[in-house]
């Protein structure tokens, strides 16, 4: 299973995967892009800084559904904290017009 996981993560996922995260207010938005080395650890660090300045907006949501067909990710889906974040439909986040 590990060689297959390596194959998918190395040659397929980087070209088709962007994992988005946000708060319900839309005040914090970030994305994980494996091909560009933007990983979840960086998102967590930036979100911790955001929470210090916005103490009433402290829940981070994943804006992507977990896809059980991606069997090579099953181990990560059970062990990685990003998959335990609550899901929020991106359409439910208000548009930030100040940017």
For the chain, give every domain's residue range: 2-92
pLDDT tens digits, one per residue of 6-21: 656 555 555 556 899 9
Question: For position 99, what pLDDT does the model report?
Answer: 44
Tell me the backbone φ, ψ of residue 31, rounded to 5 degrees.
-140, 155
- What is the rounded radius of gyration, in angstroms, for the C-alpha atoms of the chain? 15
**CB-based contact 20:87 (threshold 8 Å):** no
Q: Can you give the pTM of this predicted structure?
A: 0.77
The token pair at 58 is: 């402290």
pLDDT tens digits, one per residue of 31-78: 998 767 788 999 999 999 999 999 999 999 999 999 888 787 889 889
């Amino acid at each position: 299973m590990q060689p297959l996981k390596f194959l998918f993560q190395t040659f397929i996922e980087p070209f088709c995967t962007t994992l988005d995260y946000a708060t319900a207010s839309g005040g914090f938005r970030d994305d994980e892009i494996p091909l560009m080395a933007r990983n979840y650890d960086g998102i967590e660090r930036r979100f911790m800084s955001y929470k210090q300045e916005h103490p009433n907006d402290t829940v981070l949501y994943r804006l992507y559904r977990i896809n059980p067909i991606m069997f090579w990710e099953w181990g990560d889906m059970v062990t990685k904290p990003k998959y335990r974040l609550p899901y929020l439909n991106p359409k439910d986040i208000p548009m930030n017009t100040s940017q």
